[in-house]
Structure 1
Amino acid sequence: MFSFQPSCWSEHEELKVVMLCAPSKLDVPDLKTAENVLWSAPVSHAKAMENFMELKGTLEHAGVQVIDYAQELQADAQLLSEQLLNRYFVRDLACVFGNHLLPGEAGSSIRRPEYGHAHCLLAQWFPHHFTAPKETGDILEFGDVMVLNKDAVLINIGERTTRAGVERVKDRIFQAGFSEIGIIDLPRSSDTLHLDMNCNVAHDNVVIAKSFMRYFPVQVFTTNTTRFDMTAQFLKRHGFDMYWLEKYNTIPDINFLNIDPETLLVSNKATKQHFKNHPILQKKNIIAIEVTELEKGGGGIRCMTLPLVRKTV
């Protein structure tokens, strides 16, 4: 169906193709309902769609090919999909490691249908790169994964990802060409739900992270060895300096997207001073968009985007 094949070797190289999903057609009408579905506030579908169209349009204006998988579903799947509140958080569904596209498994029952919908489409689009999984209970949501560079991947086991889920894909990550997998075990709370709510790659040599992460060890796996590093030590060996944030607004400040090596796509709610205070990041092109209504679902721009192709240098 598509003329490209999946290829991603980092979080920061030029984004060429990305998968999105439009938000559900349902409103979340009041705070009680929002709390029951683990959202932070009521959400208007109309406003959420305005946010989504701004996200989509901004990416397309930057030259990125955007695929809205909701538009590709068969009628019966589409009818269900339109009622799935979290379906626009596509990052968790799958991940491209090099030229390998691996499936995730939902860490909460409310999200299981969307994984099936997306996986069926990915298997059709990329039959030589992706195999739809059998549900095993070994959960892995790819908001917990950072593809740092051609050598290393960092994975969090926590609220939504288990060690068994990592074990399920570990050998395939090595087969894709990566030499090290670092596993960190961060606190389990709504503010630390996924790895990308705690840290993010902001440049080819800078990782932004909440300051508490400096105290956490990383278990480092190669194909035949294992050892421990501290977080900063692990990232430093792979070329990244740490930019520790002592104060932050979790979703808008941490959950942004690299469009290319010079450009970050961030929320209007992001603290711009964080970027201005760093000698490298102050030189970045910062594009801020309105995604406040979508962020009420508990995730940010990175959560809403699944890179399928990044151009390698």
Structure 2
Amino acid sequence: MINITPRAYSEHDQLKTVMLCPPSALDVPDHKTATLVQWNGPVDQEKTHENFENLSGALKAEGVNVIHYTDYLSEEDKRLNEQLINRIFVRDIACVFGNMILPGEPGTSMRKPEYIQVHLLLKEWFKDQFLINENNNLKSLEFGDVIVLSKDAIFINVGMRTTITSVEKIKDLIFKAGFSEIGIIDLPRTASTLHLDMNLNVAASDVVISKSYIRYFPVMVLTETSVKFNMVQEFLNRHGFDVHWIEQYKTIPDINFLNLNPDTLLISKQTNQNIFKDHPKLSKKKLIPIEVTEMEKGGGGIRCMTLPLERE
């Protein structure tokens, strides 16, 4: 049994417990196959397992409790699960809002099996906190599209993998969990803008790093009693965040990093570290680079590969 109390009110507080999943047993052998399964290139799973040990080891070295959900599957479920090539991207499957956990709903049928397997485990571990039935009528909701900005605000993209109708169905639960605003943005539907966390990310308690084009998009701001619009910078500034706009970037390694605590970021070895050095509030951050290049070929980065269950 997992003996923790789920908690998350930000993206930057001390990470205590995180859920991961090892890579699949199946290689993606060539570019044709990679294209058809929507990956960025052929993948050698022996190398991805080496990458995974780098990820898991770095988290443990920083005192984070790491849960591999596959350790808790039945033998029958494991036989299926080890053949699911996207299973490493656990971020999409569920999300902790305060002390509540909501289930996601995959935007592609290829990912349905792992969602079901993980949801059943989460319900076993967190009987009261995990609301397993709240995705029953959702079209698609992947939590790479969701950023917990603060105790007050949630930021959500409705695009390729998350629908506005799904957000409308869960908004009251988010308000009930204690959050006062939900900002909704509708970003372009391309491979490099698949999820919100491929476009912007929280880098400190008061700084967001974002691709520069996002400054042109409005945000629909929901409260329990009102709807209004802000531009992105206004919305983020109002919640205490400066925006570090970047013009040049490699989407996955540069945007998709993980906050371990208010002072430390876990980043890919492929990340352009000047992005952080160029901002006065980020220049003194402790950066821990790890080799995850082979795993990143699956189309996601370190944030996509980690599901925080407990921050304090």
2 CA distance for matches of 1:137 and 1:66?
Answer: 29
Check conservation: 2:138, 2:169, Cα contact below 8 A.
no
Tell me by how many angstroms 1:4 deviates. Answer: 1.2
The TM-score, its normalising length taken from structure 1, stands at: 0.98
Report SS of the residue matched to 2:244: strand
2 CA distance for matches of 1:121 and 1:137?
Answer: 20
Aligned AA (2:20):
L
1 CA distance for matches of 2:138 and 2:170?
Answer: 13
Aligned AA (2:164):
R
Aligned to 1:309: 310
Moved more, 224-233 or 1-10: 1-10
1 CA distance for matches of 2:219 and 2:248?
Answer: 23
Check conservation: 1:255, 1:299, Cα contact below 8 A.
yes
Tell me by how many angstroms 1:3 deviates. Answer: 2.1
Aligned to 1:64: 64
Aligned to 1:139: 140
Deviations 1:244-286 (A, max 9, x none): 0001000000000000000000000000111111111110000
Aligned to 2:174: 173
Check conservation: 2:205, 2:262, Cα contact below 8 A.
yes
2 CA distance for matches of 1:170 and 1:135?
Answer: 15
Tell me by how many angstroms 1:138 deviates. Answer: 1.9
Deviations 1:58-96 (A, max 9, x none): 000000000010111111111100000000100000000
Aligned to 2:91: 91
Report SS of the residue matched to 1:85: coil
Tell me by how many angstroms 1:137 deviates. Answer: 4.5
Check conservation: 2:29, 2:44, Cα contact below 8 A.
yes
Aligned AA (1:238):
H
Aligned AA (1:251):
I
Aligned to 1:161: 162
Deviations 1:187-229 (A, max 9, x none): 0000000000000000000000000000000000000101000
1 CA distance for matches of 2:194 and 2:23?
Answer: 20
Tell me by how many angstroms 1:132 deviates. Answer: 2.0
Tell me by how many angstroms 1:143 deviates. Answer: 0.1
Tell me by how many angstroms 1:136 deviates. Answer: 2.9
- Considering only aligned residues, what root-mean-square deviation do their CA atoms show, in Å? 0.8
Which ranges in structure 2 are unaligned for 5 or more consecutive residues? none
The TM-score, its normalising length taken from structure 2, stands at: 0.99
Aligned to 2:256: 255
Report SS of the residue matched to 2:132: coil
Check conservation: 2:264, 2:285, Cα contact below 8 A.
yes
How many aligned residue pairs are there?
311
1 CA distance for matches of 2:205 and 2:294?
Answer: 30
1 CA distance for matches of 2:303 and 2:131?
Answer: 24
Which ranges in structure 1 are unaligned for 5 or more consecutive residues? none
Aligned to 2:298: 297
Identity value in percent: 59
Check conservation: 1:138, 1:168, Cα contact below 8 A.
no
Report SS of the residue matched to 1:281: coil
Aligned AA (2:101):
L
- 1:80 correspondence with 2:80: yes
Report SS of the residue matched to 1:271: coil
Aligned to 1:12: 12
1 CA distance for matches of 2:132 and 2:120?
Answer: 6
Check conservation: 2:158, 2:164, Cα contact below 8 A.
yes
Tell me by how many angstroms 1:35 deviates. Answer: 0.7
Report SS of the residue matched to 1:77: helix
